[in-house]
Structure 1
Amino acid sequence: MDDENMPIGRLEIAGLDVSNLLWEQDDIELAVRELALYSPFREHFKEALELANYATSFWLEDGRYPDRAGSVVATVFRLRDEIEDDASCADAGSLPSVIRQTLSIDHDDADSQLVATYALVQSIQAVQVLANWLFETELYVFDLDADLIAQMQATDPKKYSELAEKERLKDPAGEIDARESFRAFMGDADKALMLASLYRQVEDTDVSKGNFKVANFLSEALSKAFSAKASQRGAAAGKANRKPESVKQQDAAKLFERIRSAADRHISANPTISELDLKKALVKKERIASEPTVKKYLILGGYLPR
């Protein structure tokens, strides 16, 4: 398996199975946008996903991610709890060393890349904890009448969202926990990304020059940490992910073709198959992808609504 395609382990966000944090951020965004209660939390998701997008940009080399990047990101995600425990017992500046020791890295990755990867993992966990709480809230709505609710979701999304909102109000403690966890993950992600930006400034600075002053450097580095340059780098990362020849785009095209082929087969066998049954066949029987992904591509292919 190529390093850049190394799976990160078990990660589900709003019903979407995520296998690669470098290439699937657009899919994560689409999945959370489909949540019935996405609108009240739009800014939360935007904040976390923008940070994640910027964090991945630390791996860009000539507009591309090196093969080893996927391996490092996947390993940091799998060992995130161990890294966090070890880092909590050390000073902030030792985070790169903690990550190196935990991962037993045998190649020469920059400190800024390792710390940015940790920021990426924390921001994605922030998205996960908030999105999964909203997703589970929606699942409670289906307890009323699964078929009826599924039909309402497709034909009357406003009414469906109102029902989801009622479920949300039934569990204020759950919302408090989700919000607090989100903010805690984002706090760690913000601090890690600030450190990554500082390390990047250090890596790009020639300290051999006689006019180098630590105080001036720190002042300038801090001002640049979340400057317009950061936004530009984040945009560059997003553009790199959307290149037609990218692995992500190729995989998406293959998945789209699998879903179209399976949908054609089921509709040919049963021309009157309902939208719900078609989605169930592709998700539960054939296990092609999660329901949000299947639904997205069925809509793109013109199979829904039906």
Structure 2
Amino acid sequence: MDDEKMPYGVLEIAGFDVSSLLWEQDEIEQAVRELALYPQFHEHFKEAFGLINYATSFWLEELSYADHAGAVIATMYRLRDSIDEHASYANPSSLPDVIRQFHQVDRNAQDSHLAATYALVRATEGLTVLANWLFETEVSIYDLDEELVLHLHATAPKHYAALVQEERLKDRDVEIEARESFRECLGDAQRALMLAELCQQIESIDVSKKSFNVSGFLCKPLNDAFSAKAFQRASSAGKANSKPNSEKQLSAVQTFARVSQSAKRHIVANPKISASELVKALVETEGIASPPTVRKYLKKGNFLPR
């Protein structure tokens, strides 16, 4: 396997198996455009792809990408959860140094490259959660009458989209979660791109002069930017905790417990069970919740990825 290729099954966006975040952006965008409800979320996807395209532009050297760009991007995507965890405890301006702590990442990559790649990964995560929610909503209607749905898809796309829209409205909580996750990911991507821009400016300056304080140059604008994120998270947490015994929260706790217990049981019975098989077992066999909800709680319980 080439260093810049991701293992099969690592990432699927709107039904398309992604093997390279650098070279398959056109294919990913085409897969997203084919979603029945794409027109309703056109601006969301436009924003995500705009951030992704800008992030990849940091790797351009004249008219082509740097030779090691694909490998760095693939590696950082695979390590995204660990990198994000470490970054959450670090000073915002130290993101490139945090990333370099992982020996798998090419340490010769410039700070601007690493910050931009982090932005690319976060924007891709946001794109993925929104696109896959729409894709799974669309797929679920085939359980009604597959032949009829296929016929509508081929001959009456407006009626097909209306059917998908009806399915979408059945679980608004899942939509809210997808939208919130999308917005958080893109917010992280925007801040990381600001860091990438600052790093790029610094890289073009002769920093060997003792009078130039790189750390001081970066710290204040980045800390100001990220403090908004911290405030937003704290505010959201306060609202969520205002009614700790609400029916919705109790239901979420119970669902998480059911997912965790069932996941442990299936993994003990079959230690080699894949992520897709585990989700399918909990959704179709046990009927615990919808696929997006099951995946969310499996990830929360550290059962995914596997």
Measured against the shorter chain, the TM-score band is: 0.5 to 0.7
In structure 1, what is the equivalent of residue 188 of structure 2?
Answer: 188
Structure scoring higher RCO (CA < 8 A, sep ≥ 6) equals 1
Cα deviation for residue 2 of structure 1 reads 4.3
In 2, Cα distance between equivalents of 1:83 and 1:95:
9
In 1, Cα distance between equivalents of 2:103 and 2:150:
44
Cα deviation for residue 106 of structure 1 reads 4.8
Equivalences for 1:167-186 in 2 at 5 Å? 167-186=167-186
In structure 2, what is the equivalent of residue 65 of structure 1?
Answer: 65
Are 1:85 and 2:89 an aligned pair? no
- Kept in 2: contact 1:141–1:164 (CA 8 A): yes
Cα deviation for residue 144 of structure 1 reads 1.0
Cα deviation for residue 206 of structure 1 reads 2.9
Cα deviation for residue 107 of structure 1 reads 4.7
In 2, Cα distance between equivalents of 1:105 and 1:51:
22
Cα deviation for residue 30 of structure 1 reads 0.5
Counterpart code for 1:164? V
- Kept in 1: contact 2:76–2:118 (CA 8 A): yes
Cα deviation for residue 65 of structure 1 reads 1.4
Deviations 1:196-227 (A, max 9, x none): 1110011012346899798xx88xx99xxxxx
Are 1:20 and 2:58 an aligned pair? no
In structure 2, what is the equivalent of residue 296 of structure 1?
Answer: none
In structure 2, what is the equivalent of residue 6 of structure 1?
Answer: 5
In 2, Cα distance between equivalents of 1:162 and 1:126:
25
- Kept in 2: contact 1:122–1:186 (CA 8 A): yes
In structure 1, what is the equivalent of residue 155 of structure 2?
Answer: 155
- Kept in 1: contact 2:72–2:106 (CA 8 A): no
Q: Percent identity?
A: 59
In structure 2, what is the equivalent of residue 138 of structure 1?
Answer: 138
- Calculate the aligned-residue CA RMSD, in Å: 2.5
In 1, Cα distance between equivalents of 2:112 and 2:193:
9
- Kept in 2: contact 1:8–1:75 (CA 8 A): no
- Kept in 1: contact 2:11–2:19 (CA 8 A): yes
In 1, Cα distance between equivalents of 2:103 and 2:203:
21
- Kept in 2: contact 1:14–1:31 (CA 8 A): yes
- Kept in 2: contact 1:82–1:102 (CA 8 A): no
- Kept in 2: contact 1:52–1:124 (CA 8 A): yes
- Kept in 2: contact 1:75–1:103 (CA 8 A): no
Distance 1:157 1:196, change over 3 A: same
Equivalences for 1:116-265 in 2 at 5 Å? 116-207=116-207
In 2, Cα distance between equivalents of 1:99 and 1:212:
24
Secondary structure of the corresponding residue to residue 131 of structure 1: helix
Distance 1:194 1:59, change over 3 A: same
Secondary structure of the corresponding residue to residue 36 of structure 1: coil
- Kept in 2: contact 1:2–1:67 (CA 8 A): no
Counterpart code for 2:5? M
Secondary structure of the corresponding residue to residue 67 of structure 1: coil
Deviations 1:118-164 (A, max 9, x none): 10000011110000000111112111101110111011000000000
Unmatched runs of 5 consecutive residues or more in structure 1: 223-306
Distance 1:31 1:110, change over 3 A: same
Counterpart code for 2:79? L
In 2, Cα distance between equivalents of 1:199 and 1:168:
42
The total of aligned residue pairs comes to 219
Unmatched runs of 5 consecutive residues or more in structure 2: 223-306
In 1, Cα distance between equivalents of 2:194 and 2:125:
18
Distance 1:56 1:106, change over 3 A: closer
In 2, Cα distance between equivalents of 1:199 and 1:95:
11
In structure 2, what is the equivalent of residue 235 of structure 1?
Answer: none
Cα deviation for residue 66 of structure 1 reads 2.3
Counterpart code for 1:88? S
- Kept in 2: contact 1:8–1:20 (CA 8 A): no
- Kept in 2: contact 1:129–1:182 (CA 8 A): yes
In 2, Cα distance between equivalents of 1:56 and 1:8:
21
Cα deviation for residue 8 of structure 1 reads 5.5
Distance 1:67 1:38, change over 3 A: same
Are 1:29 and 2:29 an aligned pair? yes
In 2, Cα distance between equivalents of 1:152 and 1:2:
41
- Kept in 2: contact 1:8–1:73 (CA 8 A): no
- Kept in 2: contact 1:59–1:66 (CA 8 A): yes
Counterpart code for 1:192? A
Secondary structure of the corresponding residue to residue 109 of structure 1: coil
- Kept in 2: contact 1:119–1:188 (CA 8 A): yes
